[in-house]
Amino acid sequence: MDIKSVGVVGAGQMGNGIAHVLAVAGYDVLLNDISEDNLSRALAQIDKNLERQVSREKITAEDKATALARIKTTLKLTDLGPSDLIIEAATERETVKTAIFEDLLPHLKPETILTSNTSSISITRLASRTDRPEKFMGFHFMNPVPVMQLVELIRGIATDEQTYQACLKVVENIGKTAASAEDFPAFIVNRILMPMINEAVYTLYEGVGSVKSIDESMKLGANHPMGPLELADFIGLDTCLAIMNVLHDGLADTKYRPCPLLTKYVEAGWLGRKTQRGFYDYRGETPVPTR
Query: Within 10 A of 34 (CB to CB), how many other CB atoms are there?
Result: 12
C-alpha to C-alpha distance for 26 and 77, rounded to whole angstroms: 22
C-alpha to C-alpha distance for 46 and 275, rounded to whole angstroms: 21
CB 142 within 8 A of CB 239: no
Annotated binding site for NAD(+): 10-15, 33, 92, 97, 119, 143, 274
DSSP per residue over 194-205, as a string?
HHHHHHHHHHHH
Annotated binding site: 10-15, 33, 92, 97, 119, 143, 274
- In this structure, what DSSP letter does residue 35 have? -
Active-site residue list = 119, 140, 152, 190
Task: Tell me whether strands 113-116 and 85-88 are parallel, antiparallel or unpaired.
Answer: parallel
- For 222-241, b/e burial (b = at least 16 CB within 10 A) is eeeeebbbbbbbbbbbbbbb
